[in-house]
Structure 1
Amino acid sequence: MGLKIAIQGIRGSNHHQVVKEYFGDTVELAECLSFDTLVDKLLDKSVDKGVMAIENSIAGSIIPNYALVYHNNLHIIGEHYLNIHHNLMALKGQTIADIEEVRSHPMALLQCKVFLKKHPHIKLVEDVDTAETAKRIHELKLKGVAAIAPAVAAALYGLDVIAPEIQTIKNNATRFIIVKTQNKVLPLSEINKASLRFVTDHKRGSLATVLNVMSDCNLNLTKIQSLPIIETPWKYAFFVDVTFDQYDYFEKAKSLLQIMSEDFKVLGEYKNARL
């Protein structure tokens, strides 16, 4: 039996596109309408791996997903960057003048704000997924309703693209992480990126000291995201991505950070997809 991969969304979504590019076309897909469901499928071992969006170049971090990875003890085993293309699609024969409402994922609506403002007659409705909305328009033959989704969704569900490439910023990319319940052991020579989570105390300069250690160990900080610790008001955990030329550099930093910070945890060691 082949690999089974869980995605947030359905066939025709950006998550599906990442699976095609990262794993190829031979894997089995498990469609999930929420990231929580995706994690549940990983934990009950009904899938092998999951694909989760983690940050967008325009809208920033998908913060709840950092907490999902940490609290469910998932391991990041890889990453993939996808250029995002938003297209307005509807039943065949419809024009933009026929459209009364646009339904899509809140992130897609946000990223097409300028285009949508030019059509004030169209009501904006938030939905769970881009491709799922396209599928529903097709199945229920919804007239006057359009979806914002990848072009592949229009082909899959027999819709017309009535306005292509409507994203406000054309250079729009999302970073996805590949997650698993166990760490994937790569040869150390291939590992050049890591995701970490730690907590610092309230002493002045404690975060700066940690960041200095990373710098002294030749780590390049590519991402830092703070997240409140719900059980302890006004205390924050930091989620950090670092890249490095040699695993030895990271190993040295790891041993120091374990001593210098609280609740230090490596969320994943993997290949940098930007190289």
Structure 2
Amino acid sequence: MQVAIQGVKGAFHEVAARNYFGNDIDILPMLHFSDLAESVKNGDCDYGIMAVENTISGTIHANLNLIREHKLVVCGEEYLRIRQNLVAKKGTKIEDLNEVRSHYMAINQSRKFFKQHPNIQLIESTDTALSMREIKENNLSDIGAIGSLLAADYYDLEVLAESIETNRKNYTRFLILRNKEVWKKKGRNKASMALILDNHQGSLAEILSIISSHDIDLSKIESLPLLGEPWHYQFYLDVLFDDKTKYQSMINEITTKLDRVDILGEYTSGNQSYSKIHHHDN
């Protein structure tokens, strides 16, 4: 089984993929999220895994748009506790470092740690694991990187400090994606959808009332303006349901009151208490 990830080998996307699918998978690295979406759409891989939300940084709206625009299907989710680690070439000490490179999010999540080391310059890069790979390939002895322990192992680097993130309650939600043409629904108790409301007063309140009246749990809602249509919005919703009949009835009712509804996927929810649960849908 081949799974497309964003980033190079050892990126947190790979850690999440292996948590979800197990280790018996082949990783297809993609540097950009748009490339990841294309690879899933074109059938270049069996699945894709894409970060869409972080408890510190919030929702990655552009990725939700990619899923909708490429007509990909969400068939599962994985919640990953993000542990940032400072690594360098073996034999290097923290006091030897002049700079540390990583993705801007990893840097932002670790700034408190680096206040203890004001001599180290923090440099933003494209990817956490890519920064580690460059240290290995270029034999850099005065440069460190921030990222996963998996990447440190891949690139034979020394871990100088573990779990340097400021906030320990740092989780990322990843969606498992597949091409719509080859995906088949199985177990499901959660759905992600995109709604475009008709532009009249109270339309959102009406939709939310309908969802509630069918005993559906609205677990997330985000709004985004529609380009070129001032004061017209698109909403991304996640809902949880126990009764599939009530869920389908809710969908049927809100569809008549919307300009458009796209069901991004119906799937088994990940464990939102963040302890490990195995939840394979397919």
Q: Could you tell me the TM-score, scaled by structure 1's length?
A: 0.94
Counterpart residue number, 1:156? 154
* Matching of residue 233 in structure 1 with residue 230 in structure 2: yes
Shift of 1:33: 0.5
State the alpha-carbon separation in 2 of the partners of residues 248 and 146 from structure 1.
54
Decide which moves more: 5-14 or 116-125.
116-125
Q: How does 1:84-123 map to 2 (within 5 A)?
A: 84-123=82-121
State the alpha-carbon separation in 2 of the partners of residues 7 and 136 from structure 1.
19
Q: Secondary structure at the match of 1:119?
A: coil
Shift of 1:108: 1.0
Long gaps (5+) in structure 2:
273-282
Aligned with residue 196 of structure 1, among 193, 198, 209 = 193
Shift of 1:143: 2.2
Counterpart residue number, 2:65? 67
Once the two structures are superposed, residues 183-226 of structure 1 have per-residue CA deviations (whole angstroms, 9 ceiling, x without a partner) of 63234xx3100001011233222111111111111111111111
Counterpart residue number, 1:11? 9
Shift of 1:61: 0.6
Counterpart residue number, 1:214? 211
Shift of 1:41: 1.3
Whether the aligned pair in 1 keeps the contact of 2:38 and 2:70 (CA below 8 Å) is no
Aligned with residue 145 of structure 1, among 122, 143, 146 = 143
State the alpha-carbon separation in 2 of the partners of residues 274 and 164 from structure 1.
25
Q: RMSD of aligned C-alpha atoms?
A: 1.4
Shift of 1:94: 1.6
Give the letter for the 1:242 counterpart.
V
Counterpart residue number, 1:32? 30
Counterpart residue number, 1:186? 185
Once the two structures are superposed, residues 139-158 of structure 1 have per-residue CA deviations (whole angstroms, 9 ceiling, x without a partner) of 10112211110112111111
Counterpart residue number, 2:128? 130
State the alpha-carbon separation in 2 of the partners of residues 161 and 182 from structure 1.
41
* Corresponding pairs, count: 271
Give the letter for the 2:155 counterpart.
Y
Shift of 1:233: 3.1
Shift of 1:121: 2.2
Q: How does 1:162-177 map to 2 (within 5 A)?
A: 162-177=160-175
Aligned with residue 245 of structure 1, among 234, 242, 245 = 242
Shift of 1:30: 0.7
Q: Could you tell me the TM-score, scaled by structure 2's length?
A: 0.92
Shift of 1:245: 0.9
Q: Secondary structure at the match of 2:150?
A: helix
Whether the aligned pair in 1 keeps the contact of 2:83 and 2:148 (CA below 8 Å) is yes
Counterpart residue number, 2:78? 80
Long gaps (5+) in structure 1:
none
Find runs of 4+ consecutive structure 1 residues off by over 3 angstroms.
Answer: none
Q: How does 1:37-52 map to 2 (within 5 A)?
A: 37-52=35-50
State the alpha-carbon separation in 2 of the partners of residues 200 and 121 from structure 1.
52
Shift of 1:44: 2.3
Decide which moves more: 35-44 or 116-125.
116-125
Decide which moves more: 73-82 or 151-160.
151-160
Decide which moves more: 97-106 or 192-201.
97-106
Identity within the alignment, %? 37
